[in-house]
Structure 1
Amino acid sequence: MAAAFAFAEPGSAPGTALWRALARGARARLVLAGAASLVGGIATTGLIVLINGALHASEPARADRVAAFAATALLACAALVVSRALFADLGQRGLADLRSAIAARVQAAAFADLEAVGSARVQALVTEDANQVANFLTALPVLVTNCAVVAATLAYLGYLSFPLFLASALTIALGAVGYSACYGRVTRHLARAGAEQDRLVGHFQALHGGAKELRLNREKGRHFLDAVLATAIARVADHRRRGLALLALAAGWGRILFLALIGLALFVPGTGAQSPAVTTGYVIALLYLMGPLEAVLNTMPLVNLARVGARRIEAAFAELPPEPVGDPGTGPAAPRRDATVTLRGVTHHRADPQTGDRFDLGPVDLTLRPGEITFLVGGNGSGKTSLARVIAGLHPPTGGTLCLDGRPVAGAALAGYRAHVAAVFSDFHLFETLLGRPDAAREPQARAWLARLGLDGRVSLRDGGFSTRDLSTGQRKRLALLVACLEDRPVMIFDEWAADQDPDSRAAFYETLLPELAAEGRTILVVTHDDRWFDRADQVVKLERGLVVEHRAAAPRGRQAGAGA
């Protein structure tokens, strides 16, 4: 399914490739639904013809007329039911496929690209833009059916009176010109509303994430609600209100033109109507035609919103290309616990996508060996987490070479390299379940870890999932450590893991857990500020402003104490 949404088509108009991808996955249902809508529209126009004929017939209640009317009415209703059911199915299938495709693209994208796009925009893609596309698919039967009614009714008008048909066509053309004059501005307003929606989602995330800070300072909370959040809400509403108001203006313009056309046929002599039957049929057809035309115009906001949503989804996919994945021989053929990671002149440069501020890391020369513990230290903003992410393979080096067991790792090899790494970062996410292939041995191991980490009284495992994640930050970090250890990777990274632990858990981490993992032959990197425990490391690397300013081995007595802990 995700492959069907690889809609990067050179030269295609923005937003059109997504529609083609959706159509490819449901061509038969789309054709059947469209055909049912067309039949419903033509049958509805047939009812107008039968009604006009009955009004001027000498025997309107003849059996053949009644049968024709009943059959046409049943056909119109049945076609409408079938088309709406099929298009509703297409809409929900399309929404599900889009959400799955977005999730697959987010998972396949490089971590740095995902950081640049931001979580608020990804959330808006799933909740806002994908819904707009699905809403348009659900509204398609109304659009197709009424377009068929308009076309068939115009043909009937041409049959009644060619001059009046020309006048009707001219009126519709003038209405289309008025709509087109508004269309560009409508699209711009809706596109701006979409961009503001991304910021609004981010503010709502801040409303939840910063709940403690906003409650500690009521003035700050009021300012966030009244200035920041209210402004973002107002901007989204303002752009959408302006766009929809322009569409309403275009619809009003079309109604005025049609009413003028009816007045022309009724009250102006010599307009082309040769008999009362023609005049009556013409007026009935025009009065009926106003409804389908308004329905088409009322669907246009959904069309425009869907076009904007499709363009935004395509733009996000273009900014989140799948990360190259290959088999350069760096992936472990079998479970192993020894891996040497070497950095040779590694540099990494990144810029904040919002502010443009640039941070430069390196060059860094460093070797992490099996059975050794490396502490990475330094002040806030020194580059510790950035270097840890480079070592984890999440951020590719800008320069220099990252090696695994002496073999360079770059490009498509990074995915295989990451199969060696387990990490608990400071901004970790704890999933509800133990993800991965079912393993009968994992749950007993996990229960043993729960007891060892002092969590067996708070958390239990049920069908591979944690009974609760409603824990303190330190306890949730212990659960994250449990998950990392169960992954059984040769390289383990702990980013400020001990920062939120109680004294006993912190001591157990440095004095017992790390030495045991090292004794198993694992390569361990610990980002820390705990200078009390620096002598537990084999080497301590200090960073300042992205540069290694100190690199020293720990005192032998410290390692001996750690080994005996």
Structure 2
Amino acid sequence: MVIEIVSRNRLKIAFVSAISALAGAANIWLLALINRNAQLQDAQRGVAEFAVALGSMVLVSFLSQILLSRLSAATFYKLREQLVSGIANLSSQQIEAVGSARLYTALTKDIPAVHELIIVLPNYVFNFTVVAACLVYLCLMSVQLFLIFLGFLLLALGVAKFAIADRAEKRFQLRRKIEDDLFRCYSALIDGNKELKLNRARETGFVHSDLKAHAEKYRDATLSAEFFWNMSNNWSSAMIFIGIGALLFLAPVLGQGSRAPVLNYIIVIFYMVGPLTILMNSFRTVYAARVGLQKLKDLDLDTRPRPLASGVDGAEPFATLSLRGLAFEYGATEDGRDGFRVGPLDLEIQRGEIVYFVGGNGSGKTTAAKLVTGLYEKRAGSLLVNGREVVADERYFQNFSAVFQDYYLFETLVPKLGGLPQTEEVDALIARLRLSEKVSLQDGRLSTTKLSYGQRKRLALLVAYFDNSGIYVFDEWAADQDPEFREFFYKEFLFDLKRLGKTVIVVSHDDRYFHLADKVVKFESGRIVSVVDNHSRELGQAQPREALRA
């Protein structure tokens, strides 16, 4: 992802770097003029050249900064876009496995760290040019003094890099690892605010134990890393001044009787200290970017753009959905036990049917619903639409709309076949959901989603309805609704969809309404143990089915 973006912008980065190098060269030109004219009795002759050098430095520096700002903004935008694309390409199952904390920290920490390195590269080129030109200038002034100073400089940089800064990097790697856990705690603090407020003991234990422990680890890792960074910077500065002192005291020994060349030499070194310090501090940026790159690499995201599905236009109308030996297995638990397995599942669902998935908690009915929608990737078996196996998930997804228990409520109504729903039709359903005093539709957008839990869930029903999908999945939708809306859901809303030719899959515990379903599919321990066809029952042909053998 990052390498691709850098490669794509390599000419721009090289051009901005070249401009930065010219700005650095102009700085050295200006410094050389100052040194030369400081030794002349009549410096008036150098005014024009000084003015040209100064103007060149200002102009080129300003140009490099403008180009750098444009490059950095475009690069940051592209990095974020690539990461968002990669996250969007993840399946629901993969997002659950990765965890939202890692994805949020990738967006807020890793991408900015990599971006920071990219945008400061031209600045490093500028400062490196200044340092390199200063070293060449110093060498031309006196080879003997240059060798003395260079020896101290290389010693300072070598110790700063290998003995100190590398240790700091390990601390920053540890800190970045802690950030994922710390972010999970922050999310729990915000999302679980109500539960914490209602249980003071839990709040105290969480805030002063879990969250505090991760915060202390983060603090300690930061202090340790900063200790080594500060040691590196101070060591390098000290070695530079030791080198200057050595020049002052060794100059007479080396035959430098006049102090003027030595002082000019020291002026150049002092000028070089600023750019050199920036280069030494670059270790922090480089290491942070390396950690960010590794974290992004560990996510293993597919950032290739995928064509956006534009509804189900042109597709053969849905008639049947078949599950043939469909199976899924969760990964092993932290204590080493095998994950829960669902399947093999065999089931036939016809267009216009209302199908209930029933069974106890943990029986696999919700997992089966996610398998049917394609949100979970099957481990075995086949999904067939109209007798043909599903091969393109993006296209297959467009058959479905769903309200799972962990639903997200969007504010817009977006029919899959395009256009906007009729306001009158939306208002009519809002009224049936008893939300007219709370919500209205404005240009395809709901006026608010800040409602009570039950009202938000009814609103989610409305949003899903106007998707105008072929198959609807509702996961325990009525479990926490008032009796009035439970009756509305089972006896009115589902049959409204059926009359429109929609297929409905309902995950439910409400056995009082099982007789309303066309099929009741019972799950136990991840298996289908019976399928009752109520149409057949009406004809005296109930068809229970024993659990399939593994």
Normalized against structure 2, the TM-score is what?
A: 0.90
The answer to whether 1:349 aligns with 2:332 is: no
Deviation per residue, 1:501-549 (Å, 9 max, x gap): 2111110111111123223322211001111111111222222221223
The one-letter code of the counterpart of 2:237 is R
- Tell me whether 1:38 sits opposite 2:18 in the alignment: no
Alpha carbons 2:415, 2:468 under 8 Å: kept: no
Mapped pair 1:260 → 2:213: no
Give the aligned partner of residue 52 of structure 1.
35
1:543 to 520, 523, 530: 523
Per the alignment, residue 402 of structure 2 pairs with 423
**Aligned to 2:79, what secondary structure does the other structure show?**
helix
1:200 match: secondary structure:
helix
Distance 1:339 1:275 in 2: 99
Which residue pairs with 1:13 in the alignment? Answer: none
Q: Work out the CA distance in 1 between the residues paired with 2:305 and 2:357.
A: 28
Q: Which residue is equivalent to 2:543?
A: none
**Among candidates 265, 269, 280, match of residue 297 of structure 1:** 280
SS at match of 1:479: helix
Distance in 2, Cα, partners of 1:503 & 1:143: 68
Instruction: Read off the aligned partner of 2:324 and give its amino acid letter.
Output: R
Q: Is the 8 A contact 2:110 2:289 kept in 1?
A: yes
Q: Using the TM superposition, give the Cα deviation of residue 469 of structure 1 relative to its aligned residue in structure 2, in angstroms.
A: 0.8
- The aligned runs of 1:54-133 (5 Å cut-off) are 54-59=37-42, 61-62=43-44, 64-133=45-114
- Matched positions, count: 534
Which residue in 1 is equivalent to 2:511?
Answer: 531
Aligned to 1:465: 445
Q: Give the distance between the partners of 2:154 and 2:173, measured in 1 at CA.
A: 27
Distance 2:51 2:64 in 1: 20
Q: Tell me, what secondary structure is at the counterpart of 1:351?
A: coil
Aligned counterparts of 1:208 and 1:475: Cα–Cα separation in 2: 21
- Amino acid of the structure 2 residue aligned with 1:479: L
Structure 1 residue 170: deviation in Å? 2.1
Q: Which residue of 2 aligns with 1:231?
A: 213
The 2-side partners of 1:406 and 1:537 are apart by: 24
Task: Report the equivalent of 1:507.
Answer: 487
* Between 49-58 and 436-445, the greater mean CA deviation after superposition: 436-445
Letter in 1 for 2:169: T
C-alpha distance in structure 2 between counterparts of 1:169 and 1:35, whole Å: 26
**Structure 1 position 406 matched with structure 2 position 391:** no
> What's the offset of the Cα at 1:298?
2.3
1:145 and 2:129 equivalent? no
Provide the residue aligned with 2:542 in structure 1.
Answer: none
Question: What amino acid does structure 2 have at the position aligned with 1:302?
Answer: T
Q: Please say if 1:23 is aligned against 2:6.
A: yes
Give the Cα–Cα distance (whole angstroms) in 2 for the partners of residues 354 and 111 of structure 1: 21
Partner SS state of residue 135, structure 2: helix
Q: Secondary structure at the match of 2:340?
A: strand
2:356 equivalent to 1:361: no
Match of 2:429 among 449, 459, 462: 449
Task: Give the direction of change, closer, same or farther, for the CA distance of 1:517–1:487 in structure 2 (3 Å limit).
Answer: same
**C-alpha distance in 2, partners of 1:474/1:355?**
37
Structure 1 residue 389: Cα displacement:
0.3
Letter in structure 2 aligned against 1:39: L
Describe the shift of the 1:264–1:326 C-alpha distance in structure 2 as closer, same or farther (beyond 3 A): closer
Alpha carbons 1:164, 1:273 under 8 Å: kept = no
SS of the residue corresponding to residue 524 of structure 1 reads strand
2:466 aligned with 1:486, yes or no? yes
- In the TM superposition, residue 325 of structure 1 has moved relative to its aligned partner by 8.2
Pair 1:522 & 2:505 matched:
no
Gaps of 5+ in 1: 1-6, 8-17, 560-565
- What is the TM-score normalised by the length of structure 1? 0.88
Q: For each residue in 1:285-321, what CA deviation from the matched residue of structure 2 results, as whole angstroms up to 9, or x when unmatched?
A: 11222221112222331222122223322332x1557
Aligned to 1:15: none
The 1:371/1:68 distance shift into structure 2, 3 A limit, reads same
1:470-508 deviation digits (Å, cap 9, x = unpaired):
112222222222222212222111111111221111101
SS of match in other structure, 2:468: coil
Equivalent pair of 2:413/2:467 in contact (CA under 8 Å) = no
Q: How far did 1:356 drift?
A: 6.1
The DSSP-based 3-state class of the residue aligned with 1:347 is strand
What residue is the counterpart of 2:230 in the other structure? 248
Q: Tell me which amino acid in the other structure corresponds to 1:134.
A: H
Distance across 2 between alignment mates of 1:528 and 1:155:
79
Cα 1:226–1:483 change in 2 (3 A) is: same
1:439 lines up with 2:419 in the alignment: yes
Shift of 1:149: 0.9
192, 197, 201: which one pairs with 1:210?
192
Identity %: 34
Corresponding residue number in structure 1 for 2:353: 372
C-alpha distance in 1, partners of 2:81/2:334?
Answer: 28
User: 1-side partners of 2:275 and 2:385: how far apart?
Assistant: 67
Matches within 5 A, 1:2-17: 7=1
Give the CA deviation at 1:398: 0.7
Contact 1:325 1:413 in 2 (8 A): no
Instruction: Identify unmatched segments of 5+ residues in structure 2.
Output: 540-550
Please tell me whether the aligned partners of residues 200 and 232 of structure 1 are also in contact (alpha carbons under 8 angstroms). Answer: yes
Aligned residues of 2:421 and 2:444 also touching (Cα < 8 A)? no
**CA, structure 1 residues 301+110, in 2 after alignment: closer, same or farther (shift >3 Å)?**
same
Deviation at 1:447, TM superposition (A): 2.7
**What residue number does 1:188 align with?**
170
Is residue 181–residue 214 contact of structure 2 (8 Å, CA) maintained in 1? yes
How far apart in 1 are the matches of 2:352 and 2:506?
Answer: 13
The answer to whether the 8 A contact 1:142-1:296 is kept is: no
Contact persistence 1:161–1:273 (CA under 8 A) = no
Deviation at 1:73, TM superposition (A): 2.5
| Alpha-carbon separation, structure 2, partners of 1:465 and 1:272 | 84
Cα distance, 1:201 vs structure 2: 1.6
Return the letter of the residue paired with 1:45. I
The one-letter amino acid paired with 1:212 is K
* One-letter amino acid matched to 1:177: G
Q: 1:435 to 1:108 in 2, by over 3 A?
A: farther
Change (3 A) 1:294 1:324: closer
1:332 shift after superposition = 5.7
Q: Which amino acid aligns with 1:418?
A: F
Would the alpha carbon gap of residues 403 and 273 (structure 1) be closer, same or farther in structure 2, given more than 3 Å must change? farther
